[in-house]
């Protein structure tokens, strides 16, 4: 319990850079949660990489002091998958928003869940595109009329990321809230420790384009259920949910990709491989 060497603190994982996020934005608290999780895990900074796409929340890597990749819109999961498969020794965390992850990057999300590479994906969900001035995202309610692009509302059913992740095979599925960064930090740390693909949906209000989300702190409520390991049971919980339940839905038992069976060990040299071409 006692430690003579100084334990890392959250601040050790923060970069000395001023975020562009609006003051009041939920993402600051997600950053706090992420850095607290890294501190609790006591991971050396150089052994961690945060990969992101494009959007407000995808600015995350620059605000941490670990390795980072700020890639292009929608492709963070694919970049992170390549990094983790090439460098399984690293802890790879993916950060992004609802538009980046479920719209332009939707296909990668499906396949990251089913492939089950050992990644932790934090989606800061504010149901809006912030960096392009507030358009509807895949998680936006169908009757939200706040955008000039869809002045009558989208008329399209929103996605529930929890249900989607469970259906596609993610191995750890949780919903947290930026207003409770310590619980969120706990989820992130558990997600990192859990083998395979972890989705943490972090409800994170946008104070600029969705000021009504300030009320989320009154709407969220902690799950009454314990985490389950059977995705079908977790699916039932998610289907009956009002989308404001925070907690861990699934702690699955699938082995991470690549599984032990797919790792081959017969080693050859390039020169030996070339022999296959000799007539």
Partner 1 sequence: MTEVKGGAISVTLFLAHSLELEIEARDRYVELGSVLSAHNNADVSTLFETLGRYAQMHVTEVERLAEEVGGIPTLAAWEFVWPDNEAPETAGHDEVHYLMSPHKALEVAHANEVGARDYYKWIAETTQDADVRRLARSFEEEESRHAQLLALWLDKFPNVPENWDQDLDPPQCVD
Partner 2 sequence: MSVESLSLALVGSGGAGVMTVGQMLLDAAAGAGWYGMMRRSSGPQIRGGEAAALVDLATRSVEAPKDEMNVLLAIDWQNTTRFMDELPLTPDSIIIADPSQGPVPELILARGARVIELPIKDLAAGVVNGRANMVALGAAAAIAGLPMAGILSVVNLTLGRKGGEAQAAAATCLALGAKAAEEWGLGRELATPAHAEASVRWNISGNEAAGLGAVRGGVRFCAAYPITPATEVLEWLAGKLPKLGGTLVQAEDELASIAMCIGASYGGVPSITATSGPGLALMTELMGLSVSSETPVVVVNVMRGGPSTGIPTKAEQTDLNIAIHGLHGDAPHIVLGPTSVGDCVRTTQWAVHLAERLQTLAIVLSDQALGQTRAVIDRPDDSAWQAERLIQREAGTDKFKRYAATPSGVSAMSIPGTPGLEYVAEGLEHSESGLPSAGAADHAKQLDKRLRKLDNHNFGPEWADVEGEGEVAVLTWGSCTGPARAAVARLAAEGRKARLVAVRLLSPARPSDFAQALAGVRKLLVVELSHGAQFYRYLRSQYDLPGEVTVFNRPGPLSIRTTEIYDRLVALGV
Residues forming contacts to partner 2 in the complex (CB under 8 A) are 17, 44-47, 49, 51, 54, 61-62, 65-72, 74-75, 78-87, 89-90, 107-108, 110-111, 258, 263-264, 266-270, 273-274, 277-279
Q: 73 or 111: whose CB is closer to partner 1? A: 73
Q: 110 or 207: whose CB is closer to partner 1? A: 207
The Cα–Cα gap between 140 and 43 comes to 35
Least separation, in Å, of the C-beta of 1 and partner 1?
A: 5
Q: Does residue 152 sit in helix, strand or coil?
A: coil
Peptide bond just before 268 cis, omega within 30 deg: no
107, with CB counted inside 10 A (0-12, 13-18, 19+), is exposed
Joined together, the tokens standing for residue 246 give 């925070």
Distances 22 to 13, 56, 157, 211 between C-alpha atoms, Å:
21, 9, 28, 12
Residue 37 as a binder of partner 1 (CB under 8 A): the answer is yes
Which residues lie closer than 8 Å to 225 by C-beta, 6 or more apart? 237, 247
- Residue 29, CB-side half-sphere exposure with 13 Å CA sphere: 19
Do the Cβ atoms of 124 and 96 come closer than 8 Å? Answer: yes
Query: Judged by CB under 8 A, which of 47, 88, 107, 132 binds partner 1?
Result: 132
Q: Hunting for tokens 């706040």 — which residue is that?
A: 146
Least separation, in Å, of the C-beta of 204 and partner 2?
A: 21
Residue 68 as a binder of partner 1 (CB under 8 A): the answer is no
What does 28 interact with, of partner 2, partner 1, none (CB < 5 to 8 A by kind)?
Answer: partner 1
User: What is the total count of residues that contact partner 1 (CB under 8 A)?
Assistant: 47
Q: 3 or 157: whose CB is closer to partner 1? A: 3
What does 22 interact with, of partner 1, partner 2, none (CB < 5 to 8 A by kind)?
Answer: partner 1
Q: Which residues bind partner 1 (CB under 8 A)?
A: 1-4, 7, 9-11, 14, 18-26, 28-29, 32-33, 36-37, 39-40, 54-55, 131-134, 178-183, 185-186, 189, 205, 207-209, 214, 217
């Amino acid at each position: 319990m006692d430690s003579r060497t100084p334990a890392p603190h959250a601040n050790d994982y923060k970069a000395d850079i001023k975020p562009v996020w609006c003051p009041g934005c939920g993402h600051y608290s997600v950053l706090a949660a992420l850095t607290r999780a890294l501190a609790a895990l006591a991971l050396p900074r150089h052994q961690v990489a945060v990969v992101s796409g494009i959007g407000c929340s995808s600015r995350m890597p620059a605000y941490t002091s670990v390795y980072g990749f700020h890639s292009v819109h929608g492709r963070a999961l694919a970049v992170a998958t390549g990094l983790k498969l090439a460098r399984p020794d690293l802890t790879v965390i993916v950060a992004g928003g609802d538009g980046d992850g479920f719209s332009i990057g939707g296909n990668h999300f499906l396949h990251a869940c089913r492939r089950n590479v050992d990644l932790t994906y934090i989606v800061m969900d504010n149901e809006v595109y912030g960096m392009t001035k507030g358009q509807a995202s895949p998680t936006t309610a169908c009757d939200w009329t706040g955008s000039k692009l869809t002045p009558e509302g989208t008329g399209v059913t929103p996605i529930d990321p929890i249900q989607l992740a469970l259906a596609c095979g993610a191995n750890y599925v949780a919903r947290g809230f930026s207003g409770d960064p310590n619980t969120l930090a706990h989820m992130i740390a558990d997600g990192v420790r859990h083998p395979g693909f972890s989705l943490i949906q972090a409800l994170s209000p946008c104070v600029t384009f969705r000021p009504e989300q300030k009320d989320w702190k009154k709407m969220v409520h902690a799950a009454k259920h314990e985490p389950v390991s059977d995705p079908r049971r977790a699916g039932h919980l998610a289907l009956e949910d009002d989308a404001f339940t925070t907690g861990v839905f699934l702690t699955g038992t699938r082995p991470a990709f690549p599984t032990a069976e797919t790792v081959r060990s017969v080693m050859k040299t390039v020169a030996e491989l070339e022999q296959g071409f000799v007539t």
